Amino acid sequence: MTTSKGHYYLGLQQATALSNSGLTLRRTCNAIAKVIAKSMGMTGCRVLLLNPKNEYLTTVGSFGLSDLYLRKGPLDARKSLPEVLEGEIAIVSHAPSDERVQHPEVAESQHVVTIIASPIIRGSDVIGQVRVYSRQERSLSDLDQEFLRAIGNLCAVVLDKAELSQFKERVKRNCAKAPRQVLPAHVPSTPLKPTEFAHESEAEFAHLLDFYQIEWLYEPRSFPLAWNGDGISQMFTPDFYLPELDMYVELTTMKQDLITSKNRKVRKLREMYPDINVRLLTRKDFARLLAKYGYGPLGEAKVAGVGRVLFSQTQIKRKVRSLARRISKDYVGQRIVMIGVLKGVMCFMSDLMQQISLPVKTDYMDISHYGGDGDIVKITRDLDCSIAGKHVLMVEDIVDTGMTLNYLLTHLESHRPASLRVCSLLDRKQRRLANVKLDYVGFEIADEFVVGYGLDYHGEYRNLPFIGTLQEEKGD
């Protein structure tokens, strides 16, 4: 099919009007997907959003595609037409046989032959894709490419607008909860959540997952459970998929008839798809599930004073493994002595040394601060063993002004080690006064007080499995 410039111009006009229509994100993207498919003479279209880690693609709008095709499973952005991540337009001439198609059997069953994918780019970053589908083989003209590029730019504006709207809504909610709280100068970027939930319990569960920084996808896959001839007569679509736990979650109320019906479907799903990990949860099961995987305590008592989670347990584990790999590579063939200052470093140092693939010795120091502003350091416990001629790695939980670290490094240098490097999980550069070099850094953080993973406030919060900020107390 040949599409004229006039036809594409009309399509862009319609899509532009929709982008400023005031509809919800999903309805806007559904309508734009329809315009794209009709303008190009294609069977279907969908608008996909890339998650912040560039791992998964989530559908935010679609037209002309079956529910089975839309929910055939999470799309892995690095496997499903990966060239689009580099800003290129990809074309698949025969979807059932192309290795870049993640679910070729579903494409064949739904008679999808041609797939064309174009990036949605914001600045220099790919943030999503527009994909169009045809039941016949289609080529891609220069005019087709120009239209897809233009519509991708428009979709980027639509997603930006939705993200700004969600940010303003979050600010509004936060101000309502704590009117006297001053917003930080640097507001961390929050991923767009383009989801319209079917039930308030789903929104509540999603907010809980967001608090603990647990990645989630909403209704990403439908599982056929029964067939009527060549057609599917029954499907089951779990509410959430948690990629980090590789778990599907279906929520239910306490109504016994609903629990019985969903239990029956879950049992059938487990029988037919034994490799799928699926859980049926009631509202009371939420905290128990999170506690089991180390994300939170039963009942929220342990995190009552936490304002927000900066780094989840999973993020910390990944970072520790990454640091350990770098350290192991840099010290290959050598033995190292890891030195930490009690007590905040205990969690980080313990996890780090277990991941290092070299012979490791450990030693600890303890210090106290005194003086007018506590700016004078005194070593109350020195090293047990000599470090002369040895490779020393100073391990810190957090570096602020660098004054204490500078004093300790001078002290350690006086013992004449063969080498002396510093590894810190957190770096708060805004407070830096001393010019100290950090050789390995986990995360850079803003100028705010943090707790968890060994860091405390008046002796509490060290045992949190994540790192978060403290809530500001409301004034009288």
Q: Give the pLDDT of the chain (476 residues) as one tens digit per residue.
A: 556 788 899 999 999 999 988 888 889 999 999 999 999 999 999 999 988 778 888 888 999 998 888 888 878 888 999 999 999 999 999 999 999 999 899 899 899 999 999 999 998 889 999 999 999 999 899 999 999 999 999 999 998 888 777 666 655 555 554 444 333 333 334 456 666 787 777 887 887 777 766 778 888 888 888 888 777 888 898 999 888 778 899 988 656 667 788 888 899 999 999 989 998 887 667 666 655 544 544 334 455 567 788 888 888 999 999 999 999 999 999 999 999 998 889 999 999 999 999 999 999 998 886 544 445 678 888 898 899 999 999 999 999 888 889 889 989 999 999 999 999 999 998 888 778 999 999 999 988 888 999 998 888 888 888 898 877 554 43
Amino acid identity of residue 32, one-letter, is: I
Q: What are phi and psi of 127, to 5 degrees?
A: -115, -5
- Would the CA dihedral through 349, 350, 356, 358 be positive or negative? positive
Query: For domain 5-166, which architecture applies?
Result: 2-Layer Sandwich (3.30)
- Please say if 427 is a catalytic residue: no
pLDDT, position 304: 57
DSSP per residue, 67-93: HHHHTBS-EETTTSSGGGGGT--EEES
Domain residue spans of the chain: 5-166, 197-303, 311-470
Side-by-side strand order, sheet with 391-399: 376-381, 360-370, 336-341, 391-399, 419-427, 440-444
Place of tokens 């040949």: 2
In terms of Cβ atoms closer than 10 Å to its own Cβ (0-12, 13-18, 19+), residue 255 is exposed
Q: What span, in angstroms and rounded, lies between the C-alpha atoms of 26 and 32?
A: 10
For 407, other C-beta atoms within 10 Å of its C-beta total 17
Q: Which helix (H) or strand (E) holds 176?
A: helix 142-177
| DSSP symbol at 358 | S
Place of tokens 């070729």: 104
Q: What span, in angstroms and rounded, lies between the C-alpha atoms of 114 and 131?
A: 10
Bridge partner residues of 395 (DSSP): 340, 423
Fold of 197-303: Endonuclease; Chain A (3.40.960)
Selecting from 3.40.50.2020, 3.60.150.10, 3.40.50.2300, 3.30.450.20, what CATH number does the domain 311-470 have? 3.40.50.2020
- Would the CA dihedral through 181, 187, 188, 193 be positive or negative? positive
Q: What span, in angstroms and rounded, lies between the C-alpha atoms of 424 and 398?
A: 6
* Whether residue 343 has a cis bond before it, omega within 30° of 0: yes
Of 239, 351, 397, 400, the active-site residue reads: 400
334 contacts: CB under 8 Å, gap ≥ 6: 358, 391
pLDDT, position 421: 96
Q: What are phi and psi of 360, to 5 degrees?
A: -130, 135
- 3-state DSSP helix/strand/coil percent for the chain, to nearest 5? 35, 25, 35
In terms of Cβ atoms closer than 10 Å to its own Cβ (0-12, 13-18, 19+), residue 326 is middle
Task: Look up the pTM and report it.
Answer: 0.58
Q: To 5 degrees, how large is the angle CA 467–CA 406–CA 354?
A: 45
3-class DSSP state of 469 = strand
Q: What span, in angstroms and rounded, lies between the C-alpha atoms of 434 and 408?
A: 12
Q: To 5 degrees, how large is the angle CA 227–CA 229–CA 231?
A: 60
